[in-house]
Amino acid sequence: MNGGGRIVGEGCHFIDTLTFLNGSIVVSVFANVMKHPEKFNDTININLTFENGSIGSICYFSNGDKSLPKERIEIFSNGASAIIEDFKSMIIYSKGKKVKTKLMSQDKGQKEEVYRFINTVKKGIHNDHLIPLKEIYNTSLATFRINESIQTGLPREL
C-alpha cells in the first residue's frame, strides 16, 4: 500500500493519544482487520500493550453510519471512567458521581501544537511541552508493526 494507508496516516494519532494519556510507550501490538477486496485496512481493531503494563484498544471502523460522532475515547483507571465524544464533550464517572463537560467547539489540539512548535523553533530552545523524540519514534514503529500484524495475523513486539 503506497504511503502506509490509514494506519500510518491516521492511526498514529490515536497511538500518540493513548501514549500521552497513560504516560508510557507501546511495547507490543496486535491487529485484526476486516477483509476488504482492495485491502483498505480501514475497519480494524488494534490492541496495544504499554511498557507500564497499561493496555489500549483502537477500534477504527469506516463501515458505520457517517452521522455517528467520529471519535470516542473511553478511559478506565483506578476506579474512575471517562468518555470523550468527538473532542466536544466529556463525562467523568468517579466515586458514584457523574460530571459532564461540554465544549463550545471541537478542540483536537492542532492549533496549540503548531503554536508550541513554532514558538520552540523561534526561541531555539528545548520545550518540554513538545512530544519527546522517543515517543515519536515509538509511535512510528508501532504503526509499522501494526501493518506487519495485519499481514501475519500475529502479535508484534516493538
**CATH number for position 140:** 3.30.360.10
DSSP state of 131: P
How far is it, in rounded angstroms, from Cα 75 to Cα 78?
10
The confidence score (pLDDT) of residue 141 equals: 96
DSSP-derived secondary structure letter, 132: P
Give pLDDT, residue 68: 86
Q: What is the pLDDT along the chain (158 residues), one digit of tens a residue?
A: 444 577 777 888 899 999 999 999 999 999 999 887 776 777 899 999 999 999 999 998 888 888 888 889 999 999 999 999 988 899 999 999 999 998 777 766 677 777 777 777 777 766 556 788 899 999 999 999 999 999 999 999 99
| Domain, as residue range, for 49 | 2-104+133-157
109 part of a folded domain? no
Residues 6+ apart with CB under 8 A from 115: none
Domain assignment present for residue 113? The answer is no
Quick check: is 43 in a domain? yes
Residue 93 lies inside a defined structural domain of this protein: yes
Single pTM value for the model = 0.82
Contact 103, 88 (CB under 8 A): yes
Residue at 73 is within a domain: yes
